[in-house]
Amino acid sequence: EEIKAKDKIRSDISNSSANGKNDDLFSQGIEYDNSQLRDEIMPAYERMIQIMRDNNWLAEESTRKYLPLLIKVVEVWKRDHKKVISNQVRLSLPHSDKDLQGFYDDLEYNLKVLRSKVKKG
Give the residue extent of every domain in the chain: 2-120
pLDDT value at residue 37: 87
pLDDT 10s digits, 36-92: 888 998 999 999 999 999 999 999 999 999 999 999 999 999 999 889 999 999 989
pLDDT value at residue 88: 92
How many whole angstroms separate alpha carbon 14 and alpha carbon 24? 14
Q: How much is the pTM?
A: 0.79
**In which band, very low, low, confident or very high, does the pLDDT at 18 lie, cut at 50, 70 and 90?**
low
Q: Using the predicted structure, report yes or no on whether residue 24 has a pLDDT greater than 80.
A: no
